[in-house]
Structure 1
Amino acid sequence: MRTNYAVSVIGLTDERLEAFVADWLLFRTRDYVQSERWNGSGDMGRDVVGYATSARHEGDWDNFQCKQLSTRLSESSAILELGKIFMHAAAGEFRLPRAYTFVAPRGVVRNVQTYIAHPERFRAACKSRWAEVCEPHLVQNKSVPFTDDIEAMVDAFDFKNVFALDAVKLTQDPYIKPALVKWFGEDPGEAPRGVAPDGIVLEEATYLTELVQAYGARRGVAFADATDVIADPDWGDDLRDQRTRFFEAAAFKRYYRDSTFPEMLDTFNDDIYHGVVDAYREVHPDALARMVAVMKEAKSVVPSGVMRRYGRVPVKQGLCHHFVNEGRLKWTR
């Protein structure tokens, strides 16, 4: 049964909720080229923002306003938060956001829900309630009247792009898993199996070149290329196994790159590297013996972290070929 992470999100402090949302946005790469957290005083109504282009605030951007409250977000609070954006946009601090999302773990009151469902009513409420809600409260010890410039911002903003996320909706977002893994120990699940393509592909070039040399040195006659080795009755099966291991590791890396934070995959890789590097550095009669010794050692490495249970033997062995591609190891020295 899946853990109810919504309860965990509700339990976060204001500061940690912002950090959690910032981590979530890091993986919405289809929506944003970059995200940024503007926490603390002087945030101008922005907690976490997603930039749609490299122009950042001079291009399209979305605002995520985090409201960790003891109750649901009220109508006055919603209008006041939007008012901050209109005030600072009118002052030329930034362009109006493309979209605005209230991240309120306990939800919003019915009036705010109704306004979101009826965008023009929301626009009208921001205008009609400015004097009551915004003017005396936007800036401490200062009145902020509803000027023509602010009204122009309210008129220009697309209220159809105002949204609200409670804790349940947030934890059901398709991009949330890496944040749940990092923050609450969510199980990222098992990576799909890797399958070696029939033909040799570019990403194999480095480690295969070294293996072709290693097989040739052992046989005493050089092989022309990897295809030549695969056709060989003595070494073909072995090279097919090595390619399978390489692509098992490639599938593993792709899956966890998308479902966990980079440092988690880095930790797994480093554990495998340090588990095999002593065997790699021992004196071996030839390159093929070196590779075989490393493969044997890789089987017994027990990495740490959330991916430990999913690090199957072919994955750990295949990562050693990736280390060769990356220059951390060399089969032929």
Structure 2
Amino acid sequence: MNVRSKVELADIAIPSTADTMPTAALMLSGPPIEPLTRLMTYDSGKWEEFINEWVTSLGTTYKSVQRFTGAGDKGVDVAAFTDSKQLLGVWHNYQCKHYSKSLGPADAYLEIGKCLWFSFNEEFDPPSRYFFVAPRGVSTKLGLLLANKSKLKAGLYKAWEKTVSTKITSTRSVELEGDFKAYVEAFDFTIFEAAAPLKILEQHRKTPYFIQRFGGGLPARPKVNDLPETIDPHEAVYTKKLFAAYSDHSGASIQTPKDFTGLPKLRKHFNRSREAFYHSESLRVFVRDKTEPGTYESLQDEVCDAVADTCDGDHSDGLARVVAVTDKAQNLKLDAHPLSPSTFPRDLKGICHQLANDDRLDWSDDD
């Protein structure tokens, strides 16, 4: 006997994208991933790298920051030092844990045990602050223990034999007795705390590493300040080279802006060159704290490599060389460079003058 199925079937609705416009970036990489979600995909090594970057954002709080990797780190992942004594001075420990769940008491007890044991054995002075850092934060239970130090210590004692004693080192069991127990009794458990992932991200956003890790691009550039009337000392080299190029072109001796009398086209070119220089200087300052070290310098290198042959070519005079090189620069396509979206043609011309200022480009044979 045939039994008719009573299961009702329905067509699967295809999600509509009619209200969005596809972009090249979307088609290439898919929708952006929220930073907190991206952190969940890290392995323990990348998580420690991220925390190391974050700690650098804490500014003048620390004299130096070091990341300890590999076996035998004695429970020190990222150490931040406030003085030159490092592990024997005043320092903070950032204990990195990257698990598929929030950090629980058992995880914390073992790390606290390591801190107690190795500081007792004078491997390092106890840190003045000890942070647990995990992408999913700490569990409610651990959070409550960290907020109540007497209960944290009591919980450690209770869990010691099962969770801690045999896992501190691979060579022996560490018993909570004798001088070591007296050391633990007197230890300041208020140093242990947890760092909130969202706060970490908020502070990491201020580092030059954030954009490369999480994308999103640079913010809009501020307007460039008005050109100063007088030549600043840091403009001395490239402006001197321009004066030599103008002298080569005109046959007149041009050593200061006052010598442009009767030469309006050269004066205008000089003013445009200074404007371009300051435009590129504003870009350099703009990206300095928003990108990794060397990012702007790599843009300068790209421009230098692109215009080198033009600069070395034959030209009727120094000014002709300047014009040929800066024209070549402003027409460059640097789409693959991370600063491309924030770079204008005038910046590229200005970079040529920055390179001249650094003695990487010359306009006249006697420069």
TM-score range, shorter chain: 0.7 to 0.9
For 2:306 and 2:156, locate their aligned partners in 1 and report how far apart those are by CA, in whole Å: 61
Q: Is 2:119 aligned against 1:83?
A: no
Q: Which moved more, 1:40-49 or 1:225-234?
A: 225-234
Q: Which moved more, 1:306-315 or 1:227-236?
A: 227-236
Deviations 1:217-270 (A, max 9, x none): 333332343566599744333222222211221221222221111243343222
Matched residue SS, 1:35: strand
Aligned partner (choices 195, 217, 221) of residue 248 of structure 2 = 217
Superposition deviation, residue 193 in structure 1: 3.6
Superposition deviation, residue 45 in structure 1: 0.8
Distance 1:254 1:60, change over 3 A: farther
Aligned partner (choices 316, 322, 332) of residue 285 of structure 1 = 316
For 2:319 and 2:117, locate their aligned partners in 1 and report how far apart those are by CA, in whole Å: 69
Aligned partner (choices 352, 355, 364) of residue 320 of structure 1 = 352
For 1:120 and 1:291, locate their aligned partners in 2 and report how far apart those are by CA, in whole Å: 73
Matched residue SS, 1:262: coil
Superposition deviation, residue 326 in structure 1: 2.0
Q: Is 2:363 aligned against 1:331?
A: yes
Distance 1:48 1:264, change over 3 A: same
Matched residue SS, 2:203: coil
2:341 alignment partner in structure 1 = 309
2:21 alignment partner in structure 1 = none
Superposition deviation, residue 313 in structure 1: 0.9
Aligned partner (choices 41, 54, 57) of residue 11 of structure 1 = 41
Deviations 1:64-105 (A, max 9, x none): 221111111001211221221222222222222232222210
- After TM superposition, the structure 1 = structure 2 runs for residues 19-30 of structure 1, keeping only pairs within 5 Å, are 19-30=49-60
2:331 alignment partner in structure 1 = 300
Larger Rg: 2
1:162 alignment partner in structure 2 = 193
Distance 1:264 1:61, change over 3 A: same
Maintained 8 Å contact 2:103/2:138: yes
Give identity over the alignment, percent: 25
Q: Which runs of 5+ in 1 are unaligned?
A: none
Distance 1:236 1:75, change over 3 A: same
For 2:97 and 2:305, locate their aligned partners in 1 and report how far apart those are by CA, in whole Å: 44
Maintained 8 Å contact 2:208/2:289: yes
Matched residue SS, 1:256: helix
Q: CA-atom RMSD, angstroms?
A: 3.0
Maintained 8 Å contact 1:98/1:161: no
1:262 alignment partner in structure 2 = 293
Q: Is 2:113 aligned against 1:93?
A: no
Distance 1:38 1:249, change over 3 A: same
For 2:71 and 2:221, locate their aligned partners in 1 and report how far apart those are by CA, in whole Å: 42
Given the two structures, how large is their TM-score scaled by the length of structure 1?
A: 0.86
Maintained 8 Å contact 1:119/1:160: no
Q: Is 2:273 aligned against 1:242?
A: yes
Maintained 8 Å contact 1:246/1:321: yes
Q: Which moved more, 1:286-295 or 1:236-245?
A: 236-245
Aligned partner (choices 109, 113, 122) of residue 139 of structure 2 = 109
Matched residue SS, 2:132: strand
Aligned partner (choices 81, 91, 100) of residue 61 of structure 1 = 91
Superposition deviation, residue 131 in structure 1: 5.0
Matched residue SS, 1:173: helix
Matched residue SS, 1:102: strand
- After TM superposition, the structure 1 = structure 2 runs for residues 136-147 of structure 1, keeping only pairs within 5 Å, are 136-140=166-170, 142-146=172-176
Matched residue SS, 2:209: helix
Q: Which moved more, 1:146-155 or 1:99-108?
A: 146-155
2:20 alignment partner in structure 1 = none
For 1:247 and 1:81, locate their aligned partners in 2 and report how far apart those are by CA, in whole Å: 52
Superposition deviation, residue 7 in structure 1: 0.4
Matched residue SS, 1:259: coil
AA partner of residue 310 (structure 1): S
Deviations 1:294-323 (A, max 9, x none): 110111112222211111111111111111
Matched residue SS, 2:144: helix
* Count of residue correspondences: 332
Given the two structures, how large is their TM-score scaled by the length of structure 2?
A: 0.79
Maintained 8 Å contact 1:230/1:239: no
For 1:230 and 1:37, locate their aligned partners in 2 and report how far apart those are by CA, in whole Å: 61
For 2:68 and 2:185, locate their aligned partners in 1 and report how far apart those are by CA, in whole Å: 22
Matched residue SS, 2:60: coil
1:180 alignment partner in structure 2 = 210
For 1:79 and 1:130, locate their aligned partners in 2 and report how far apart those are by CA, in whole Å: 8
For 1:130 and 1:221, locate their aligned partners in 2 and report how far apart those are by CA, in whole Å: 88
AA partner of residue 86 (structure 1): L
Distance 1:157 1:227, change over 3 A: farther
AA partner of residue 311 (structure 2): Y
